[in-house]
């Protein structure tokens, strides 16, 4: 798992943000899932698969995030898989996650029923389940936040080659539809936690001017940012150096990303001017021409450009 996936998994593992994401992804922004009703669920699923010849092997799957949601007296298992790259087998992979979760539940029910002295029918004894036993519903969301347009299949049927056997077979083959969510599917203005800035920053990070405009339009929120949101944005937009510049605003736990970005831009500009002066000096370019180039390239006053050239000319 890459840095961006790790960062997003860590960020969305907080129940408040997880609930907000699920509500946007699955319920159109309606507050269906509440953070207080979520609990962490075992994210490593290991199953002992026994073959007919009695040999067995273990299958282990690790979920990015897995939580149990309590809705009244019922429960739902909700999983979230983060992808920064397109995975062309994701519908099958997602189906396997759900199938293994149901397999785990069946094993738990079977073990519980073995201890139960209640009379069983022959069919119940064979299956290990009572006729009235029911499984906890399982939902898996796949959040693709990569730079490329998602061009993979979104359900099992799309992955099947039916050319040789004909479309009339399609309705006989069970389908599995993947709950795919991309950045473009999310309206960040519907979000209320730091997810709003994380999603917005990721959407606008491809173009420097676009990102700057977005940050200025949301300046008040970018100037008062919690540490986790600050660090997640820094990783997701490929600017991890910002984490080293993180400074509290004077209020504990509140950080100013606008200031950090401006400081970084200033440092990059200074490095560029220094390199330009050094190169021009090496090729004996007149100082006045260097000053003119800096004024044009960096849009700064001639007095400031002159001061910088004189400063770096000596180095």
Of 246, 219, 248, the residue nearest 234 (C-alpha) = 246
Residue 89 has a pLDDT of 96
Domain membership flag for residue 236: no
Q: Verify that 176 and 280 share a domain, yes or no.
A: no
Q: Verify that 180 and 272 share a domain, yes or no.
A: no
C-alpha span between 91 and 178 (Å, rounded):
5
Of 284, 202, 271, 209, the residue nearest 239 (C-alpha) = 202
Q: pLDDT of 75-132, one tens digit each?
A: 999 999 999 999 999 999 999 999 999 999 999 999 999 888 788 889 988 888 999 9
**pTM of the predicted structure, to 2 decimals:** 0.82
State the residue for tokens 């990102």: 211
Among the candidates 186, 221, 254, a domain finishes at: 186
Q: Is 163 or 101 the better-scoring residue by pLDDT?
A: 101
Domain membership flag for residue 292: yes
Residue 222 has pLDDT above 80, yes or no: yes
Among the candidates 170, 186, 202, a domain finishes at: 186
Q: Verify that 56 and 151 share a domain, yes or no.
A: yes
Domain membership flag for residue 220: no
Domain membership flag for residue 218: no
Domain membership flag for residue 242: no
C-alpha span between 221 and 197 (Å, rounded):
8
Domain membership flag for residue 50: yes
Q: Verify that 178 and 277 share a domain, yes or no.
A: no
Domain membership flag for residue 243: no
Domain membership flag for residue 46: yes
C-alpha span between 7 and 133 (Å, rounded):
39
Alpha helices in 240-283 (DSSP H): 241-244, 257-282
Structural domain total, the chain: 2
C-alpha span between 243 and 64 (Å, rounded):
24
C-alpha span between 56 and 58 (Å, rounded):
7
Domain limits for position 37? 3-186
- Which band of pLDDT confidence, cut at 50, 70 and 90, is reported for residue 232? very high
Among the candidates 143, 169, 186, a domain finishes at: 186
Q: Verify that 164 and 21 share a domain, yes or no.
A: yes
* Cα angle value 141/16/242 (rounded, 5°): 90
Residue pair 12/237 in contact (Cβ under 8 Å)? The answer is: no
C-alpha span between 46 and 88 (Å, rounded):
24
Distances in Å between the Cα of 156 and the Cα atoms of 7, 135, 143, 283 are 29, 23, 18, 63
Find the radius of gyration of the CA atoms of the chain: 28
């Amino acid at each position: 798992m890459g840095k961006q996936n790790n960062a997003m998994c860590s960020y969305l593992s907080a129940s408040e943000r997880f609930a907000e994401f699920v509500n946007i992804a699955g319920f159109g922004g309606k507050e269906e899932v509440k953070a207080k009703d979520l609990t962490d669920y075992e994210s490593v699923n290991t199953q002992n698969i026994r073959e007919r010849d009695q040999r067995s092997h273990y299958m282990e799957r690790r979920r990015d995030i897995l939580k149990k949601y309590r809705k009244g007296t019922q429960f739902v298992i909700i999983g979230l898989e983060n992808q920064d790259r397109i995975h062309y087998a994701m519908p099958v992979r997602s189906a396997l996650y759900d199938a293994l979760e149901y397999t785990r539940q069946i094993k738990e029910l079977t073990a519980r029923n073995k201890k139960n002295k209640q009379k069983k029918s022959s069919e119940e004894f064979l299956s290990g389940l009572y006729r009235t036993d029911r499984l906890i519903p399982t939902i898996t969301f796949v959040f693709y936040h990569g730079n490329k347009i998602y061009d993979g299949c979104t359900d099992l049927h799309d992955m099947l080659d039916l050319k040789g056997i004909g479309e009339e077979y399609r309705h006989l083959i069970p389908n599995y539809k993947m709950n795919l969510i991309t950045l473009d599917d999310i309206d960040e203005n519907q979000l209320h936690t730091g997810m709003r800035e994380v999603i917005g920053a990721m959407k606008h990070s491809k173009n420097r001017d676009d990102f700057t405009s977005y940050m200025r339009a949301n300046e008040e929120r970018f100037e008062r940012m919690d540490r986790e949101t600050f660090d997640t944005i820094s990783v997701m937009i490929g600017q991890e150096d910002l984490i080293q510049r993180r400074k509290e605003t004077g209020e504990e736990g509140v950080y100013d990303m606008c200031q950090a970005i401006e400081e970084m831009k200033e440092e990059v500009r200074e490095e560029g001017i220094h390199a330009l002066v050094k190169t021009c000096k090496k090729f004996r370019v007149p100082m006045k021409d260097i000053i003119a180039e800096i004024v044009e390239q960096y849009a700064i006053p001639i007095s400031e450009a002159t001061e910088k050239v004189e400063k770096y000319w000596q180095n």
